[in-house]
Amino acid sequence: MRRSVTIRVVQHRPVLGDLEANLADHRARIEAAAEDGADLVHFTELSLTGYALGDLVDAVALDPAHPLWPEVLALSEPADVVVGFIERGEDGFLYNAAAYLHAGRALHVHRKVYLPTYGAFQEGRFFSPGRSLDVFDAPWGCAAFLVCEECWHPSVAHAAVMQGAEVLLATANAPGRGPVDGGWASHRGWREILSTYARVYAVWIPFASRVGFEEGFIYGGGSAVVAPDGSLAAEADFLEPAELTAVLDAAALRRARVANPAHGIERHELLIAALQRVRTAAGEAASPAVAPEVEAP
């Protein structure tokens, strides 16, 4: 990391389908966070729309021609912003997307690669999957997104860190399951996973996880800022809205990497060879290779 970042993680309840109300709420929170000295305000997955949209994803999809798009970009005038939204791609398909906004422009847009379509989840019905595991150069260092289900695919975190990511920006719309010991068993599981990634890879992981009730899901909150040693630098309640402030300290990241250089000596050729054998065995040799769109700095 080139420098430390003061982050404000927002655990909120978006208004389902109301872009203007959610924009106004984002704007107010960003202005307040900037006044408090935050460099970056980190919202949840689909923070501008809510989650349980069903067929109505089309009604609130954004593209550069949308009349509200300039207002989305303008959110980042007081501070950098991570937002979740529905992107109407130039190909006409709809994506569950997360954007890093900086100084009135979208520095990076990530299209969620893994869309959960099993059990209670139906994202594959309504969205097209992203095709790329990217990192990007944020003003303070190298970052990548982990959008909800992607946190449950270690390959996504691995690909990000191997391309240079120092901060994994995690977001989620996850229903709480297992009301035990004053919180959700499910969301303690989320924190365990992220804590493991942070510790193994020596990265910062701010995690914005929404709350509120929508279409039968009680979202489980439990947002956190996970430090490069796996500890929680900040953590939120499992039901109520909350805002967390923490410093993603560049020196702490440096120290963690000195103490734990394991991933720095990763032998990519062994993994590539193993995956190639898997691919060959599965008869998938014809599927297209996935290449990062942005080089690690």
Partner 1 sequence: MIGDGGPPALDAEFTVRALALSLSQMLEDAGRSGFVVGLSGGVDSALAAAVAARAVGPQAVHALFLPGPGTPEVSADNARSVAEHLGLALETVPLAPLMDAMPFPAEAHRRRGNFTARLRMAILYDRAAALDALVLGTSNKSEMALGYTTLWGDMAADCWPLGDLYKTQVLAIARAIGLSEEVVGRPPSAELWEGQTDEEELGFTYRDADRVLYTYLEGRHRPEEIAGHAAEAALVERVLQRVREQAFKRRLPHVPKLSTRTIGHDFHHPRAWRGPA
Binding residues vs partner 1 (CB under 8 A): 13, 15-19, 21, 49, 52-56, 59-60, 122, 125-126, 176, 178-183, 212-215, 218, 238-239
Which is closer to partner 1, CB of 55 or CB of 284? 55
- In whole angstroms, give the CA distance from residue 244 to residue 10: 7
Q: How far is CA 228 from the centre of its chain?
A: 17
Amino acid 176 reads G
- In whole angstroms, give the CA distance from residue 31 to residue 25: 10
Beta carbon of residue 184, minimum distance to partner 1 (angstroms, whole number): 8
Beta carbon of residue 292, minimum distance to partner 1 (angstroms, whole number): 34
Beta carbon of residue 182, minimum distance to partner 1 (angstroms, whole number): 5
Which is closer to partner 1, CB of 112 or CB of 187? 187
Beta carbon of residue 135, minimum distance to partner 1 (angstroms, whole number): 33
- In whole angstroms, give the CA distance from residue 120 to residue 217: 9
Give the DSSP H/E element, type plus range, for residue 120.
none
Give burial (CB, 10 Å; 0-12/13-18/19+) of 289.
exposed
Which is closer to partner 1, CB of 15 or CB of 250? 15
| Closest C-alpha to 215, from 131, 120, 297, 132 | 120
Which is closer to partner 1, CB of 207 or CB of 238? 238
Which is closer to partner 1, CB of 52 or CB of 107? 52
Beta carbon of residue 21, minimum distance to partner 1 (angstroms, whole number): 7
